[in-house]
Amino acid sequence: MQEQTICGELGMLNNLFKRQMACQSGEEFSKVTGMQGMIIHYLLVADGDRFQKDVETQFRFRRSTATGILQLMEQHGLLRREPVPQDGRLKRLVLTDKALALDARIKKKFRDTETLMRAGISEEDMDAWFRVCGRIRANLENYQRRASEGQE
């Protein structure tokens, strides 16, 4: 029997989650990935202006990853970047009407997927899952921080 590993389980769960999110109907919805949907929702519910750096922080992306995703969203007409008066270098992220029209469907897809994933799992087990995930995330973030400071 193959040894169970956190990396292996997370990889499989990620693939299954992506596949589940890809089970979407409608041509205009077919080009929206699960991550793009999460970014649309984040920008929709956020208070005030949001910038690429906010997306990087919220989703723990590297700058290059955020740039690629946001550029693709721009190409697909889901958002645009608008300069802000106080700093010409800053570009706030603004959802287009196309993205706003998809929001209700994106929310429903995430709710349905969340319900599916939680099926048969007690609240106690869910609490444990989130505690363990938080610890794993902290371990990885602390290691990466120390590595970037030259301590690893």
Do the beta carbons of residue 78 and residue 40 sit within 8 Å? yes
Structure token pair of residue 110: 């995430």
Do the beta carbons of residue 28 and residue 40 sit within 8 Å? no
The pTM score is: 0.71
Percent of the chain with pLDDT over 70: 93
The tens digit of pLDDT for each residue in 98-133 reads 998 888 887 888 888 899 999 999 999 999 999 999
CA gap 18, 40 in Å, rounded: 16
Residue 26 DSSP label:
S
Reply yes or no on whether the pLDDT at 71 is more than 90: yes
User: What confidence category does residue 28 fall into, taking pLDDT thresholds of 50, 70 and 90?
Assistant: low
Q: Which residues contact 18 (CB under 8 A, 6 or more apart)?
A: 33, 34
Which residues, in sequence order, are bridge partners of residue 80? 94
